[in-house]
């Protein structure tokens, strides 16, 4: 299932760190293999991707979102 979500990129402190997208509603998505451009804290970004129910992680902070495309709205 493909979804489009907007939120803030944050690094969560698990192990070496996990990159996440946190929406204004408070939903946290763990980003699967984010590109270099998204591996920094950003004020606002829109990501189109797919929820991966077949992937488990150590962080387990929310649904795993595999990025198909993204747009940086502000940094």
Q: Which domains does the chain have, with CATH numbers?
A: 2-74 (2.40.50.140)
pLDDT of residue 61: 92
Q: Is pLDDT at 24 greater than 80 in this prediction? A: yes
Contacts 24+ apart (CB under 8 A), 62-65: 62/20, 62/27, 62/28, 62/29, 62/30, 63/29, 63/30, 64/29, 64/30, 64/32, 65/3, 65/5, 65/21, 65/29, 65/30, 65/31, 65/32
At 53-64, the pLDDT tens digits run 999 888 889 999
Instruction: Grade residue 40 by pLDDT with cuts at 50, 70 and 90.
Output: very high
pTM attached to this predicted model: 0.91
Over range 5-13, report the average pLDDT. 94
């Amino acid at each position: 299932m493909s979804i489009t979500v907007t939120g803030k990129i944050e690094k969560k402190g698990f192990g070496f760190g996990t990159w996440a997208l946190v929406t204004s509603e408070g939903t946290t998505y763990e980003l699967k293999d984010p590109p270099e451009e998204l591996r920094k804290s950003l004020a606002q970004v829109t990501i189109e991707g797919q929820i991966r129910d077949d992937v488990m992680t150590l962080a387990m902070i929310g649904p795993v979102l595999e990025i198909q495309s993204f747009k940086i709205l502000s940094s």
